[in-house]
Amino acid sequence: MILPIVQTGNPVLRRVGRELAPEEIKSSTIQELIESMRDTMRAAPGVGLAAPQIGQSLQLAVIEDRSEYTQNVSAEQVKERHRSTIEFHVIINPKLTQLDESSAEFYEGCLSVEGYQAVVRRAYRVRVECLNERAEPIMIEAEGWYARILQHEIDHLNGKLYIDRMDSRTFTTNENLVSYWKAGQ
Instruction: Please list the active-site residues.
Output: 153
Biggest CA–CA distance in the chain, Å, is: 53
DSSP string, 16-44: BPBP--HHHHTSHHHHHHHHHHHHHHHHT
Edge-to-edge strand list for the sheet holding 172-173: 103-109, 116-123, 172-173
Sign of the CA dihedral with 114 first, then 120, 42, and 9 last: negative
Instruction: Name which of 142, 150, 153, 152 is nearest 102 in CA terms.
Output: 142
Q: Are 17 and 55 in contact (CB under 8 A)?
A: no
Asked if residues 83 and 107 have their Cβ atoms less than 8 Å apart, the reply is no
| Residue 72, CA distances (Å) to 59, 61, 68, 78, 184 in order | 32, 26, 8, 10, 18
Whole-number Å distance between alpha carbons of 110 and 153:
10
